[in-house]
Amino acid sequence: DADVTQTPRNRITKTGKRIMLECSQTKGHDRMYWYRQDPGLGLRLIYYSFDVKDINKGEISDGYSVSRQAQAKFSLSLESAIPNQTALYFCATSDQSGANVLTFGAGSRLTVL
Amino acid sequence: GQSLEQPSEVTAVEGAIVQINCTYQTSGFYGLSWYQQHDGGAPTFLSYNALDGLEETGRFSSFLSRSDSYGYLLLQELQMKDSASYFCAVRDNTGGFKTIFGAGTRLFVKA
């Protein structure tokens, strides 16, 4: 089984719909992240969480919300999806080493029509 | 805020050496990492530099100069499988040690 599992892997939805992307990890790490990847823009941080009671906004949090349901689970929600939220979304977890090595899930490709 | 600059594309031939540069601006620099991402895959960690100097891991090396806000990834003995995107990323200690990525460099390795 993968260390970081994302569901769904692919989703096509319509403008205005509510979407939830789920992430679970078996690494036992406290730190979890959601990134968005667009061609030519790299990975941009949406939200991050350092423990169950901690939620922090990243570079591009507008239009998104998150929930840290447990140490192993971190979900990303789009309350009312819009076409410019079409992107590849990655969940990641990291250790507490100095390098803060990120382990990524396989990604969730979201298309908003 | 933070910003990272790296070339968008680099092309090299199999067996050659290639260097991918990264310059960064951040208010709370803690370290520079490099990640590799193949098409359709997830980014994977390659290396990390917190102090000035060169870190070597097999065919890959990474360099950091904190005074110049500059680093590079050096790939030696290039292989076709090295064709991928490479991202530099800064660990920033403002707001609790988050990692911010550059836009990535697409490396094409030709036979």
- State how far residue B62 is from chain A, nearest Cα, in angstroms: 13
A56 touches chain B (CB under 8 A): yes
Residue B71's pLDDT is: 98
Q: Residue B5 has which token pair?
A: 């600059």
HEC string of chain A? CCCEEEECCEEEECCCCCEEEEEEECCCCCEEEEEEEECCCEEEEEEEECCCCCCEECCCCCCCEEEEEECCEEEEEECCCCHHHCEEEEEEEECCCCCCCEEECCCEEEEEC
Give CA–CA dist B34/B62, Å, rounded. Answer: 8
Residue A41's pLDDT is: 84
**Are the C-beta atoms of residues B57 and B76 closer than 8 Å to each other?**
no
Residues of chain A in contact with residue B48, where contact means CB-CB under 8 angstroms, are: 98-99, 101
Residue B95's pLDDT is: 67
Apex B60 CA angle, B47 and B103, nearest 5:
60
Residues of chain A in contact with residue B27, where contact means CB-CB under 8 angstroms, are: none
Contacts with A, B 12-51, CB within 8 Å: 30-31, 33, 35, 41-45, 48, 50
Residue B2's pLDDT is: 78
Interface contact A42-B87, CB threshold 8 A: yes
Closest chain B residue to the Cα of A37, Cα to Cα: B103
- One digit per residue, the tens of pLDDT, for chain A of length 113 reads 789 999 999 999 999 999 999 999 999 999 999 999 998 889 999 999 999 989 999 999 999 999 999 999 999 999 999 999 999 999 999 988 877 899 999 999 999 99
- Residues in chain B predicted with pLDDT less than 50, given as ranges, are none
Residues of chain B in contact with residue A103, where contact means CB-CB under 8 angstroms, are: 45
